[in-house]
Structure 1
Amino acid sequence: MLDITKADGVGANIRQLRMAKGMTLDRLASLSELTRGYISLVERDLKMPSIAALLRIAAALEVKAAYFFDPNSEPAPRYTLFRQEDRNTPLREGGFELFALAAGRTRKMMEPFLLSPPLKSAQRASHAGEEMLFVVNGRIAIKLDGEELILSKGDCLYFSGETPHEVRSLGRQRAEVLVVVAQTSNN
Structure 2
Amino acid sequence: MYLQHTIGKKVKEARLNNTLTQQELAERCSLTKSHISKIENGQAAPAVATLSKIAQELDTPLSWFLESNLHNKLSIVKSKDKKLKIGNKDIGYTYEALANRPRFSKVEPVIVTVLPEAEYVTPFTHSEDEFIYILNGSINLYYDGELHYLEQGDSAYFEGNTPHIFISADKNKEAKVLTFFIQNTPL
- Residue 86 of structure 1 and its aligned partner are, at CA, apart by 2.9
State yes or no: 1:12 paired with 2:9: yes
State yes or no: 1:35 paired with 2:31: yes
Aligned residues of 2:61 and 2:183 also touching (Cα < 8 A): no
- Residue 24 of structure 1 and its aligned partner are, at CA, apart by 0.6
The 3-state SS of whatever aligns with 1:7 is: helix
Give the aligned partner of residue 87 of structure 1: 82
TM normalised by structure 2 equals 0.81
Q: How many residues align?
A: 179
TM normalised by structure 1 equals 0.81
Tell me: CA distance 1:7–1:158, structure 2 relative to 1, closer, same or farther (3 Å).
same
Counterpart amino acid of 1:181? F
Aligned residues of 2:64 and 2:104 also touching (Cα < 8 A): no
Give the aligned partner of residue 43 of structure 2: 46
CA RMSD of aligned residues (A): 2.5
Aligned residues of 1:116 and 1:169 also touching (Cα < 8 A): no
State yes or no: 1:152 paired with 2:148: no
Tell me: CA distance 1:116–1:59, structure 2 relative to 1, closer, same or farther (3 Å).
same
Counterpart amino acid of 1:86? D
Counterpart amino acid of 1:182? I
Tell me: CA distance 1:101–1:110, structure 2 relative to 1, closer, same or farther (3 Å).
same
- Residue 19 of structure 1 and its aligned partner are, at CA, apart by 2.6
- Residue 44 of structure 1 and its aligned partner are, at CA, apart by 2.3
Moved more, 135-144 or 99-108: 99-108
Structure 2 gap segments, 5+ residues each = none
Structure 1 gap segments, 5+ residues each = none
Q: Does 1 or 2 have the higher relative contact order (CA < 8 Å, sep 6+)? A: 1
Counterpart amino acid of 1:34? S
